[in-house]
């Protein structure tokens, strides 16, 4: 589904790589949680997968398509929610979503039904005709999620998607992520919310200073720690502790 092989990325003349020799593979049906301290390289990795940044070395493929050479085929397959979704705020949400459907070539007759269906799911249907500039932060986050879903991608990539969501919306999003993976589609998301990762993910990867320091199921990480009852939060804090 997604294969990342020996990927390294440096920004500008920086001496240190933001992502260093990263390899991981996402299998169909998986919800993969990407964890790591601030500045670890999560967003950089995500931007390379979705084609917003180019890696310096290594390869990334999505459904076998190279992210550097087959950009359109890659983008067609991906629904992406950035860490700070940006919109044309003068548009209404409905106009904006119609525009997104146009870009992704969603068949005309399917557009409105899909927009309304996803907007309803996130309680945005009553404000679809409002200008996006009038939306609250959480409403914009939900619109970003709906934007990523309307073209029915094969792969959902979310960068800290829970930020700003109220409890019900966060619950719905978790439900949607779960449903999305049924039938073999996959989700890759970054989060700082360990409880969400612990409960939702089939596997988690932990990145630190640009390098992947762990990549496994929560239970395998527990076993490896020698203590079967540590929470993911406790494991994460232990693994990423730099004070020793």
Name the site residues for ligand ATP (rule: CB under 6 A): 11, 18, 36, 38-44
Output 45 or 94, the one with its CB closest to Mg ion: 45
Measure the CA–CA gap between 9 and 12, rounded to whole angstroms: 10
* Residue showing tokens 């933001």: 18
Distances (CA, A) of 100 to 39, 69, 143, 165, 174: 30, 23, 12, 22, 23
Output 93 or 145, the one with its CB closest to ligand ATP: 145
Reduce the DSSP state of residue 134 to 3 states and report it: helix
> Of all residues in this chain, which one has the CB nearest to Mg ion in the complex?
43
- Residue 42 CB, shortest distance to ligand ATP, in Å, is 3
Taking CB within 5 to 8 Å according to partner kind, which of ligand ATP, Mg ion, none is near residue 148? none
Output 79 or 205, the one with its CB closest to ligand ATP: 205
Measure the CA–CA gap between 149 and 106, rounded to whole angstroms: 11
The residues pairing with 24 across neighbouring beta strands, listed in sequence order, are 4
- Residue 220 CB, shortest distance to ligand ATP, in Å, is 23
- Residue 114 CB, shortest distance to ligand ATP, in Å, is 30
According to DSSP, residue 29 is labeled T
Backbone angles phi, psi at 215, to 5 degrees: -160, 105
Size of the site for Mg ion (CB under 5 A): 2
Distances (CA, A) of 122 to 88, 152, 162, 194: 20, 16, 13, 23
Output 38 or 243, the one with its CB closest to ligand ATP: 38
Measure the CA–CA gap between 54 and 126, rounded to whole angstroms: 39
- Residue 14 CB, shortest distance to ligand ATP, in Å, is 6
Taking CB within 5 to 8 Å according to partner kind, which of ligand ATP, Mg ion, none is near residue 38? ligand ATP
Output 43 or 186, the one with its CB closest to Mg ion: 43
Q: Which helix (H) or strand (E) holds 198?
A: helix 194-200
Per-residue mark of binding to Mg ion, 23-52 (x: CB under 5 A):
-------------------xx---------
* Residue showing tokens 């990423």: 240
Residues that bind Mg ion (CB under 5 A): 42-43
């Amino acid at each position: 589904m997604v294969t990342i092989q020996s990927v390294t990325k440096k920004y500008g003349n920086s001496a240190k790589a933001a992502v260093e020799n990263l390899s991981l593979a996402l299998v169909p049906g998986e919800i993969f949680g990407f964890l790591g301290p601030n500045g670890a390289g999560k967003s950089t990795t995500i931007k390379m997968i979705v084609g917003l940044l180019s890696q310096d070395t290594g390869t990334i493929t999505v459904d076998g398509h190279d992210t550097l050479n087959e950009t359109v085929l890659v983008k067609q397959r991906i629904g992406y929610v950035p860490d700070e979704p940006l919109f044309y705020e003068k548009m209404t949400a409905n106009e904006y979503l119609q525009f997104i459907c146009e870009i992704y070539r969603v068949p005309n007759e399917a557009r409105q039904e899909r927009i309304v269906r996803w907007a309803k799911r996130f309680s945005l249907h009553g404000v679809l005709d409002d200008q996006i500039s009038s939306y609250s932060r959480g409403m914009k986050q939900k619109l970003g999620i709906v934007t990523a879903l309307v073209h029915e991608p094969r792969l959902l990539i979310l960068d800290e998607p829970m930020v700003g969501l109220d409890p019900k919306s966060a619950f719905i999003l978790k439900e949607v992520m779960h449903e999305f993976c049924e039938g073999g589609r996959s989700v890759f998301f970054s989060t700082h919310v360990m409880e969400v990762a612990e409960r939702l993910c089939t596997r988690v990867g932990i990145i630190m200073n640009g390098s992947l320091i762990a990549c496994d199921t929560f239970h395998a990480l527990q076993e490896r720690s020698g203590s079967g009852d540590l929470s993911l939060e406790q494991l994460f804090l232990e693994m990423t502790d730099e004070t020793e």
